[in-house]
């Protein structure tokens, strides 16, 4: 029984993230008016330094044309702006607008609070679980 459980971690993690992704996507579409994918892109631009289309494509693991479309839509919604790079090159810098920053901060915090409430309600210690997850991610991405 223990062996089976231990071997099942991969699928359980898959189910966990797949379900969280679906729930977060439905929540953000309903409350913030953006998909989870676009929300993550805004977060990457605003808080993780993905300030070019190439960097954003790299972080999201998608192609540049795909990111280019996304950036256009986000810019049209007034959440993101593109500015000419200071060195005069042809690579545009991505930056959140005030509305974009507000959206990321407000709904990022809200989503995390809801998730934390859910984790605690399940009797799982939030901080320890977060620390374990961070360690796993660091190991995978090292």
Partner 1 sequence: MTGAVRSADGTTIGYETVGAGQGLLVVGGAWRAARDYLPFATALSGAFTVHVVDRRGRGRSGPQGEDYSIEREVEDLLAVQEQTGATIVFGHSYGGLIALEAARRAPVFSDVAVYEPGVSIAGSIPLGWMGLYRERLAAGDPRGAFAAMVRGAGGAPRALERMPLWYVKLMLRLFIKQEHWRHIEPLLEAGLAEHEQVAALDDTSIDRYQAITARVILLGGAKSRPFATTALFDQLAAALPDTTSELIDGLGHTAPDEKAPEVVADRLRRHLMGQASRAKSMIA
Q: What residues line the site for partner 1 (CB under 8 A)?
A: 19, 22-24, 26-27, 30, 111, 113-115, 117-118, 120-121
Between 114 and 135, CB nearer to partner 1: 114
Look at the block and give the residue holding tokens 């805004």.
42
Between 31 and 84, CB nearer to partner 1: 31
Q: How far is the CB of 82 from partner 1 (least distance, A)?
A: 30
Q: How far is the CB of 24 from partner 1 (least distance, A)?
A: 7
Q: How far is the CB of 118 from partner 1 (least distance, A)?
A: 6
Q: Do 132 and 115 touch, CB atoms closer than 8 A?
A: no
Distance CA 97, CA 94 (A): 10
Q: Do 125 and 132 touch, CB atoms closer than 8 A?
A: no
Q: Do 65 and 82 touch, CB atoms closer than 8 A?
A: no
Provide the 3-class DSSP secondary structure of residue 26. Answer: helix
Q: How far is the CB of 127 from partner 1 (least distance, A)?
A: 17
Between 94 and 111, CB nearer to partner 1: 111
Distance CA 74, CA 86 (A): 22
Distance CA 66, CA 72 (A): 10
Between 28 and 67, CB nearer to partner 1: 28
């Amino acid at each position: 029984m223990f062996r089976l459980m231990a071997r099942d971690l991969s699928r359980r993690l898959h189910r966990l993230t797949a379900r969280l992704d679906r729930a977060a996507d439905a929540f953000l579409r309903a409350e913030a008016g953006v998909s989870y994918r676009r929300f993550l892109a805004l977060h990457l631009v605003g808080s993780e330094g993905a300030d070019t289309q190439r960097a954003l494509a790299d972080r999201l693991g998608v192609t540049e044309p795909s990111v280019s479309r996304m950036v256009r839509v986000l810019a049209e919604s007034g959440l993101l702006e593109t500015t000419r790079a200071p060195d005069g090159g042809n690579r545009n810098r991505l930056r959140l607008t005030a509305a974009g920053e507000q959206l990321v901060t407000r709904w990022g915090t809200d989503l995390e609070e809801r998730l934390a409430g859910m984790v605690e309600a399940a009797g799982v210690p939030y901080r320890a679980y977060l620390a374990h997850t961070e360690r796993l991610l660091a190991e995978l991405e090292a």
